[in-house]
Chains A and B, each alone.
Chain A
Amino acid sequence: MAYAARLKAPGLFRAAFGVLLGFGFGFGLVVGLRALSNLHPVIKTDPIVTVELITVPFGFLFGLGAFDYWFRWASGAPTIPEDHSGHGAKSWRDYFRVNTDHKVIGLQYICTTFFFFVCGGLMAMLMRAELAAPGMQFVSPNTFNGLFSVHASLMIFLFIIPVFAGIANYVLPLMIGAPDMAFPRLNALSYWLLPIAGIMMLASFFAPGGSFATGWTAYAPLSTDTPLGQTFFSMAVQFAGASSVATALNFLVTIITMRAPGMTFWRMPLLVWANFTTSLLVVIATPFIAGSQFFLILDRAMHFNFFDVAKGGDILMYQHVFWFYSHPAVYIMMLPGFGIISEVISAHARKPVFGYRMMAFSLMAIVVLGFTVWAHHMFVSGMFPWLRVPMMITTMLIAVPTGIKIFSWLATLWRGVIHLTTPMLFALGFITMFTLGGISGIMLAVIPFDIHVSDTYFVVAHIHYVLFGGSVFTIFAGIYHWFPKMTGRMYDESLGRLHFWLSFIFFNLTFGPMHFVGIDGMPRRVADYAHQYAAWNAFISVSAFIFGMTFFIFVYNIVTSWRHGPIAAANPWRAHTLEWQVSSPPPIFNFDEVPTVVGGPYEFGVPGAVHGVFKERVPVTTAAGGGGAPPPVNTE
């Protein structure tokens, strides 16, 4: 009886049952259709697995209960519009079910994405082990190609893009004074699509013929002619993409409709601006990568011949559609980080963000320009040659809004009172490293130079300066900055600083030399290389191993601090934005009383300036200029 009850109730138990049902349904569907159509053999791996990759995840989601409420509503069963039964977490078990609390979902996102970050990082370590010396030592060329393909795909689709969604999920509703996201049940579904995508990518290693091995770009026709693992990539991207789009819509509606009274667009913290613009990018661009991967699936499974030249296919079309998403994706992976840095720098340098409106306008400018540059990935692809020069110019123009941001952060530091806390160190590391990545980006935009270094290690160096020295440093800054808010405890400051300095140094020692070997002629995505690059590669590998180990300092710090760290005050950084005006961690519905916003978010040093007020209380943010006492904690 207990089993029957557990099978009826949503949760992991029913999800396991759903997986079995999904598996059986997919298997039966393919075998049945093949038998009816006289296709032999009736039981064939490729079509069965392709269909299973759709039916099993949906079986899981149904079982878990992601659709229960909507089904009840659609079937006319009684529902409670304000049903909060799935809201909030009382024990760790509540993190393993469909939960509608944005704070729980935020932590689900962050922990899941860091798990895939570790997986992708370990793959990078294996690659560096193989590349430490010329020749083949540890892995076969097939495994190597699989490692860099899965590494990149996990880092992009399962770490950087969703971890920002996770941080924003936690922080953004608090920042705008909202009790939750606009669509909490959609929010829960968005999260649960994510582990599906990640597990699918990892599971590709067990597919016959090995994992997908055509890079995260999956250029056709190589990707239409490789073993089954490729389908795992194309399908995983659909799930990760659907998750992204649903979250982005949720952010847009939340930001547009759920701001606290008095919070005009020009009083929104820049993190909110950053996620607003990122969400625009996601909603407009993501369907294109979904399309490109559907092309591949249809080519592979049903011979649609989009990319079969002999049947009139067009090879370059794939690259145009792919990059029309994947270049804006670079900004999807960067703009939320820009938002984090604005929050961190203003709070830890005790200064208003310099040129607040220009900061917001430059985000919008990047969104618009970001859609006009995709073909700079294709300067040597053989596309219509005239397209190159306009794309070079637009690419280089993006330096202008990006420069506005860098210079404004520097001006924010100027005459501040700078506290070199761990988040601040990561923010400073970000500014310097991202500047280097931006400079190499300008170089890559100049066509004649790009022709030489395209598809070399110079590009590998550039993307890691932008995505690790850029995005990942902002992620670390954000995690450390909001750690007290999320967990109610303080992290260990000296371990945090150690983590910063070691990762900053070994990051540069790992990726800096890649510029040299790239210009000197070492192509990317190779399992083996000429002896002339042996010395640098050995050096890079050793640096990479130490760089990889620095991550354990972070994990140790986070895990021990979460369990035993000192209790955090509501507002340890004395910041003005609304999330710091509630307890750490916040109450279950965020605000026991809705705040009223009466000023800008960063009015540091302005006597008496306040961002938000609660009617019942004294204003909680006072300009700390004279006094020095931390603002009062929410004591209600």
Chain B
Amino acid sequence: MRKHPLAQMLTIGVVASLIGIAIALNIRWFPPAADTASHKIDTLYDVLLICSVPIFVLVMTVAIYSVVKFRAKPGDMSDGAPIHGNTRLEIAWVTIPFIMVTGLAIYGWVVLNNVEAKKTNERIINVVGQQFTWHFQYAKNGATADPGKNCGQDNPNEVTTNTLVLQKDQPVYFRICSKDVIHSFWVPEFRLKQDAVPGINTHMRLTPNKLGNYTVVCTELCGLGHSTMRSPVHVVNSQQFATWLRQQAAPTAAQAPSGGGGGQAGGGGAAAGTAQGKQLFASNGCGGCHTLADAGANGTVGPNLNTIDASAAKFGKQLGQTPQQYIFTSIKNPTAFTVPGFPKGVMPSTFGQQLSPQQLNALVKYLMSVGKG
């Protein structure tokens, strides 16, 4: 008599587990895989699913079966069987989970070592997080040269970009750092993530193996613009990569043909100034929070800069400043005045130190020239 319900439950459980595993393995859980670590992590997850489904099915089967089988009839005031325990059963459900989790932990450890293993011929790229953008620093010369251990600081042997371009099948070593608060560097298609922590360099290794366009996502809450802190990633072949890096190393050639900056240039010096300003606008991540059509930026955290000319005149007048002074101060010391309707203390106050007065002026000039509405 007692054998019967257990056999019944076992059958139900095995069938339900098999169905559950089949469904779980057929769900497309992950985004496409684009590096060598992905399939190892995806396989690890499949193994976790295969172990998990039967446990959940076991719990559900016993619970549902008990409720159906042992449910009190109306008016039944009796008690259940006075069973206080069963040593053999208790030993079993201590031992089996122990063995299972130990096995999974060892497997996880092996995968971890495998994913993080040092590879030969790694290209070193510095990843710099900053509210609310990413910069990437490449060494100008040589695939395995170092862009400098002072992550985030300019250095003549490196080029800094806002786009992460990686060469397919080329192992990469990311040196990750932050200029302000904690950020987290994640490309879902690579499955790997590492926080960017102020004051220390963290690191991450991967080898992209699929051409395509992806996105760097910041996953550590870093302030108001956190959900806009995204940067493009391109995995390209070796030829495209070499061409791209050469272009980056010669910045004036790549950046000069700007679309909207021209209009009212007063001589060659001013044109060069707006070009520099445009580059500074991009490289300092202003577009993460501000909208500016000329720079292709559409952030909504801070004021729209397409009309900054008019608003600088208006607010500058209130504060007794010229529009130029107003914009200059707003960048250098953003807490001095906040545009009504926007929260105070959001704009990073670090630009005053990061940019020289000359750079600030170039940025102001650029904004005045393209912010006419």
Contacts and interface: CB of A to CB of B under 8 A. Distances in A.
Contacts of B197: 315-316, 381-382
Interface stretch (B133-141, B178-186, B250-258, B318-326): B178-186
B227 A413 contact: no
Contacts of A358: 85, 90
Given A439-B55, A449-B44, A209 B345 contact: yes
A415 B227 CA distance: 53
Contacts of B301: 141
Contacts of A393: 102, 105
A605 B81 CA distance: 6
Contacts of B232: none
Given A141-B225, A407-B93, A399 B101 contact: yes
A604 B221 contact: no
Interface string A290-327: 00000000000000000001000111100000000000
A525 B226 contact: yes
Contacts of B194: 380, 382
Given A350-B80, A431-B59, A400 B70 contact: no
A101 to B, nearest CB: 34
A451 interface: yes
Contacts of B93: 403-404, 407
B245 interface: no
A145 B221 contact: yes
B4 interface: no
Given A145-B224, A415-B70, A442-B48, A625 B79 contact: yes
Contact of B199 (A313, A447, A448, A525): A313
Contacts of A435: 55-56, 59
A521 B67 contact: no
A624 B78 contact: yes
B77 interface: yes
Given A141-B227, A413-B63, A448-B40, A404 B52 contact: no
A421 B52 CA distance: 30
Nearest to B111: A448
A523 interface: yes
B25 interface: no
A343 interface: no
Nearest to B346: A142
A520 interface: yes
A227 B62 contact: no
B105 A446 contact: yes
B122 interface: no
A555 interface: no
Contacts of A447: 108-109, 112
A77 B227 CA distance: 61
Interface string B17-61: 000000000010111000001001100110010001001100110
Given A309-B199, A449-B45, A521-B217, A529 B227 contact: yes
A355 interface: yes
A355 B62 contact: no
Interface in A501-557: 516, 519-521, 523-530
Interface string B185-218: 0101001111101111010000000000001011
Contacts of B283: none
A459 B110 CA distance: 23
A interface, size bucket: 35 or more
B3 interface: no
A180 to B, nearest CB: 32
Given A354-B84, A396-B101, A527-B227, A142 B112 contact: no
A351 B79 contact: yes
A331 B98 CA distance: 20
B128 to A, nearest CB: 14
Interface stretch (A50-58, A190-198, A214-222, A589-597): A214-222
A516 B345 CA distance: 35
Output the residue of A420, A432, A521 with the most chain B CB within 10 A.
Answer: A521
Contacts of A407: 93
Interface string B107-126: 11101100100000000000
Nearest to A218: B221
B78 A523 contact: no
Nearest to B53: A439
B7 interface: no
A205 B41 CA distance: 42
A97 B55 CA distance: 50
Contacts of A519: 29-30, 45
Output the residue of B97, B180, B222 with the most chain A CB within 10 A.
Answer: B97
Nearest to B68: A418
B104 interface: yes
Nearest to B223: A222
Contacts of B146: none
Nearest to B202: A382
A404 B84 CA distance: 14
Contact of A354 (B83, B115, B346): B83
Interface string B305-348: 00000000000000000000000000000000000000111100
A456 interface: yes
A451 B55 contact: no
Contact of A413 (B41, B66, B225): B66
A417 B78 contact: yes
Contacts of A630: 77
Given A443-B48, A448-B41, A449-B45, A351 B81 contact: yes
A84 interface: no
A431 to B, nearest CB: 6
B350 to A, nearest CB: 10
Contacts of A520: 29-31, 188
A349 interface: yes
A140 B199 contact: no
Contacts of B222: 222
Contacts of A411: 83, 86, 89
A409 to B, nearest CB: 9
A452 B90 contact: no
Interface string A339-379: 00000000001111011111000000000000000000000
B109 A389 contact: yes
Contacts of A443: 45, 48, 52
B80 A624 contact: no
Contact of A418 (B72, B101, B188): B72
A406 interface: yes
A448 B78 contact: no
Contacts of A226: 223, 345
B82 interface: yes
B149 interface: no
Given A209-B344, A419-B72, A413 B62 contact: yes
Given A209-B343, A399-B101, A418 B71 contact: yes
Given A315-B198, A392-B108, A452 B226 contact: no
Given A419-B72, A431-B63, A452-B188, 10 more contacts: A142-B346, A145-B223, A357-B85, A382-B200, A403-B93, A403-B94, A411-B83, A416-B80, A428-B67, A455-B220
Interface of A: 136, 140-142, 145, 208-210, 213-215, 219, 221-222, 225-227, 309, 313-316, 349-352, 354-358, 380-382, 388-389, 392-393, 396-397, 399-400, 403-404, 406-408, 410-411, 413-420, 428, 431-432, 435-436, 439, 442-443, 445-449, 451-452, 454-456, 516, 519-521, 523-530, 574, 603-606, 609, 623-625, 627-630
Sorted from nearest, which 5 A-B pairs have the closest CB atoms? A521-B188, A309-B199, A526-B227, A416-B80, A628-B77
22 contacts: A314-B199, A351-B80, A352-B83, A354-B83, A382-B176, A382-B197, A388-B112, A392-B105, A392-B108, A399-B101, A413-B63, A414-B62, A418-B66, A418-B70, A442-B48, A442-B52, A446-B105, A449-B45, A451-B192, A451-B193, A454-B193, A574-B77
